[in-house]
A and B are shown apart, each in its own frame.
Chain A
């Protein structure tokens, strides 16, 4: 019983972290068909922003939940204005450019801060479920993931920005005819995606090793999850995260983390073969 509870918690935690990591990518990829290979570096920048401001005396929660997304959102804005806006509709060029960008960011951060970084302590302590101990931070991650899910859903579903953004996503020409400037929407969306990614980096910072190359561990998995989820940002990404999180964590528990990863990848292949449009293309058609 205790074991079942702790395993369930692990699965939920794995899914929540994956969802947080993927959401920003899903927004950018889902709305603009830009494959952002610098996604992992945005996560890294979020972690650095959180850690540096926390070490400078900013409250840890402010650092994770405000400074990190704001900073990475700003970076996203600059990147969009200087680079991405020339590359809309050019999938391959955008990959090349964002790959270059990821190397550039890693190089810059290494040059400025060196190869290692003073981390921050994990807030909250641990608690017990029967014979097992786990951390409150696990639950905090879950809460952040849920809040982000609701928040992004609400923005896309109920605000004017969300309505326009969805319209641009479906048909940019028609939206432009109706007086909306797709360029500005793209700019805002890219920035939003970057900010969400920065937040993920911020909240994962206290439980990760902080190095300039930490982003490399995330980009492939996030990309696979987003594509497995399909076009719908919220329903697709959350269902794919839940599925892959479950498979990965159970696989890792039952065998070893190596096969946990392999099982996740196999699940992704089978999923895409069976549902070439992703989960949401089949089950949540027309949702966000």
Chain B
């Protein structure tokens, strides 16, 4: 009942907006091939999430400049329209409407937190704008209009947990940020602990503004785990690692994290705090491949003080190129044609290695790297080639259900 009425609504809205769009389209083609292709981008350049957002904007600018230097796409130059969402969800919705209805962009890359993605995704579905989300997240988005190019828990947590268990022991204590990413990641951690014959002593969640971890550290000591699994997020939560080290726990119980180092934590906290923390991501600045080195050099030339180039930045860059590959293959900017071209399994060899779009989930098959912090830098220990997004694949098949557009909470059977 509901779906029918909504679909009807979508149809009418779209035809209404198409009628409104008509003058814009005709002028665009009247301008001929010199009229630029508009690439929309929504990233936080101020506020609490800016530390992630600003380097991602640099990657977007770099990618667009490169494509333009190489002659653009379909003979037309690209033009970046980036709005600073100021770490404010309401502005995400507002600018999403602006990109879709006023600027009439051909694609949007952006969104950082899952909350921001869920706020803007319906807007792009409704007004038929192709959308790329280039951030590692909890998985489960199943939407034909949306492509998610970052890693999901099945690609990273699955590798991280057994490795950390091997190095420490079978009893883990999980601490995570108290929102969806943390909650769902903690479930995956629990699953992989149990799959590998381990045991989870306790799972604690922390609001993003908690800065005093004293009671938690005492609680952890009381539980006596062999291993800490952390999915803490943001500047305030860095306090945990500092307080953990200052309590002298650092050398007693090792930490493995799915979030530490995503911004530039290893270089901002002192070596004693970060030494020996395990992580598993889709990209590190220290990665020793020609593509990675060239990428790092280019970004540092564009912005010499760039704090750190993490998976967020690399995936943003690769997301842009994957879209460009799709446009080339489709030979058109038409949204459906580009989606169909991308669904043929387009791939791109980027800084993190070969990245291939998975047609059924609109996620990526990509490399994952296990690393440990040594002297404020990541030392890559193991490389896992072409890891599929099997978590999302367990709930999502867009080839069978192309009309699907929700985010599934994956039922994790531990």
Contacts and interface: CB of A to CB of B under 8 A. Distances in A.
B348 interface: no
Contact of B270 (A121, A137, A211): A121
Contact of A117 (B205, B243, B246, B268): B268
Contacts, number: 142
B245 A119 contact: no
A126 interface: yes
Given A207-B239, A207-B242, A207-B246, A121 B218 contact: no
Given A126-B249, A208-B239, A256-B205, A131 B221 contact: yes
B270 A120 contact: yes
Contacts of B307: 114-116
Nearest to B219: A253
A258 interface: yes
B36 interface: no
B336 interface: no
A22 to B, nearest CB: 14
A121 B246 CA distance: 9
A35 to B, nearest CB: 20
Nearest to B46: A110
A241 interface: no
B268 A133 contact: no
B242 A122 contact: yes
A138 B218 CA distance: 13
A209 B205 contact: no
A216 interface: yes
Interface string B47-59: 1101100100000
Given A117-B268, A207-B242, A217-B211, A110 B219 contact: no
B371 to A, nearest CB: 20
B248 A253 contact: no
A263 to B, nearest CB: 12
Interface of A: 3, 6-7, 9-10, 13-14, 17, 107, 110, 114-122, 124-127, 131-135, 137-138, 204, 206-211, 213-214, 216-217, 249, 252-253, 256-258, 260-261
Interface of B: 46-48, 50-51, 54, 178, 204-207, 209-212, 214-219, 221-222, 234-239, 242-243, 245-249, 252, 263-264, 267-270, 272-273, 305, 307
